[in-house]
Amino acid sequence: MTDTPTLHWRTSLDNYEPTRSEAVGFGLEIDSPTTRIQAVVLIDPEIPEPEKALYLLDDGKNVKPYYVAAWKNTPGAHSRVHEVILHPFPVSDGSVRPDGRPVDFSTWMLGPRKTYHLKITHINEGA
């Protein structure tokens, strides 16, 4: 990914208090051209199996749940996840599709996942 990161994140990798192991990284907020929502891309996340998790993004004012919509692996024999693309959880908000059908996510659900609570800080341009 060639775009400049727009946020910094950190998360605990264990359930100990105080945390004994943390991961930190950078992310990029993008407008998804296919879904017209704001997605978040985690760049080179040092999280075990990051594509199999849920994420809570916490900016200190709001916590929003995200799921993994897609991911990219690095090519080669020792392939690992290079990018994780997160989308906010969809909801039935009363809107309609271009063909007139209602947007209905009442049956959409995910099974058990590991969840990471990412404390995010937005990176100011020029700071």
pLDDT tens digits for 44-76?
999 999 999 999 999 999 999 999 999 998 776
Count how many residues are written for the chain. 127
The mean pLDDT of 97-117, rounded to a whole number, is 90
**Whole-number pLDDT of residue 34:** 66
**Whole-number pLDDT of residue 19:** 85
How far apart are the C-alpha atoms of 83 and 19, rounded to whole Å? 25
pLDDT value at 123 more than 80: yes
pLDDT value at 81 more than 90: no
Quote the tokens at residue 88: 């906010």
Whether 62 contacts 101, CB under 8 Å: no
The whole-model pTM stands at 0.83
The mean pLDDT of 63-91, rounded to a whole number, is 87
The percentage of the chain sitting over the pLDDT mark of 90, rounded to a whole number, equals 51
pLDDT-based confidence at 77, cuts 50/70/90?
Answer: low
Q: How many helices (H) and strands (E) does the chain have?
A: 0, 7
